[in-house]
Chains A and B, each alone.
Chain A
Amino acid sequence: MGAPSLAVFGTVELLGFYLPPAVLWAGAALVPYALLRWLLGRSGLYRFVWHRSLLNLALYVLLVGGVVFLGTVGRS
C-alpha cells in the first residue's frame, strides 16, 4: 500500500474555491468509469449481472480506490 503524498492530497483550486482532494479523486475516477460502462454495455456483459445499478456503484467505488492507489504508488 502506498504512502500518503502530495500527489493524492494536493488541493484543487477552482475559481477561488479550494476543493478537498476527495473531489479530485471522484472526478478523476469518472473517466475510467464512463469508459467501463460503455464497454460493458457494448459487450453485453450486463447479462451476467443481477442488479445493474448496484454493480455500477460498486465499480465506481473500486475505480476511485484504484485511482488513489495508483496515485500513492506512482510517486514515492
Chain B
Amino acid sequence: MTTALRIAVTLAAVIAAVLVGWWLWTFYVLSPWTRDARVQANVVEVAPDVSGLITAINVVDNQKVAKGDVLFVIDHERFALAVDEAQAAAAQSQWTLKLAQDDARRDEQILARDPGAIAAETVETSRTKAGEAAAALQLTQARLATAQLNLRRSTVRAPANGYITNLTAAVGDYATSGTGVLALVDSDSFYVYAYFMETKLPGIKNGSEADVKLMAGDTVLKGTVQGLSRAIANPTAAGGGLLASVDPNFEWIRLAQRIPVRIALKNLPADLALAAGMSATVVIRPAPPPS
C-alpha cells in the first residue's frame, strides 16, 4: 500500500514536471524576444553641390541643428563674382539684341518705302541676326540664373532636424561637389532593427506592440512592428557567372538565421539621448485576435 502511494506520488510529480518543462521550452524558444536589437537612424551625408574652399563652418561636432540651419559656407566671394560676370554678360547681350533689332527694323522700313533701295537678302540677314541676338540673351540669362543658384548653394543648409556627427572638416578644406563633408543624424528617424531567429518569426505580425529595453539605463520604450525584412544574404552561395555554386558541405549543426524586423518607436521621451547603434532587448507582444 505504502509502496504504491510512494510510486504514485513520485510519478505524478515527474509527469507534471515533464509537461511544465515542455511548456517552458516552447515558451523560451518560440516566444518573439531577442537580445540582438539595435537602434538605427537615417544618416544624411551632407555634401555640397558646388566645389570650393570652405570659408566658414557654423556648427560644432554633436551639435543639434534644425532643418534649414546653415552648416557651412563655401567660398562665397568666388560665386558672387561669378554672378557679377553673368550679369555683365546678360547686359551685353541685351545691348547686342537692341542693336540687331534696330537694324532689322530700319531695313524693314527701307524695304517697305523703296524696294529698290535695299537688297531683300540684306533685310533677311538683319532679321535673322536679331533672332540670334534674342537667343543669345536667353542663354546669358540662363547662365545668370545658374550662377545665382551656385551662389545660393555655396551656403550649405541642414536637410533635416538632427545632430552633426563625426565633424572632421575644417575651415580651409577644399570641398568637392558630391563628396560628403559631414554626417547629419536625422533625429526624427530613430527606429530599432531587431534580429529575430527565424523560429520566432511566426509570432510576429505587422502592427504588433513591441517593448524595447535599451542596454543604456534599462530604459523601456514602446514601439510597433513596422515590417520584417524579406531577404538576407546567403553566405554559402558564391557568386560568379549565371550558375549557382552550391557548397557541398551540409552543416550538422544548423543555426537559425536572424531576420531583421523593423520597429517604429513612439512616444520618445524628450530627454532621452538615443544614438544609432545602441543595443536593446526587444519583446513582441502577441497580436490581438482579428475582430
Binding site for B on A (CB under 8 A): 1, 3-6, 9-11, 18, 20-22, 48-51, 54-55, 57-59, 61-62, 64-66, 68
Contacts and interface: CB of A to CB of B under 8 A. Distances in A.
Contacts of B2: 48
B35 A65 contact: no
B252 interface: no
A51 B211 contact: no
Contacts of A11: 35, 213, 281
Contacts, number: 78
A4 B281 contact: no
A56 B14 CA distance: 9
Contacts of A58: 10, 13-14, 16-17
Interface size bucket, B side?
A: 20 to 34
11 contacts: A1-B23, A4-B284, A6-B281, A9-B283, A11-B281, A50-B6, A50-B7, A50-B9, A55-B13, A58-B13, A65-B24
B124 to A, nearest CB: 87
Nearest to A20: B35
A9 B10 contact: no
Contact of B283 (A5, A20, A22, A66): A5
B173 to A, nearest CB: 40
A4 B283 contact: yes
Interface stretch (B25-33, B97-105, B113-121): B25-33
Q: Which 9 A-B pairs have the closest CB atoms?
A: A65-B20, A58-B17, A4-B31, A50-B10, A61-B17, A58-B13, A9-B33, A50-B6, A58-B14
B27 A68 contact: yes
B10 A10 contact: no
B31 A55 contact: no
Contact of B20 (A3, A9, A61): A61
A69 to B, nearest CB: 9
Given A10-B213, A18-B35, A22-B28, A57 B285 contact: no
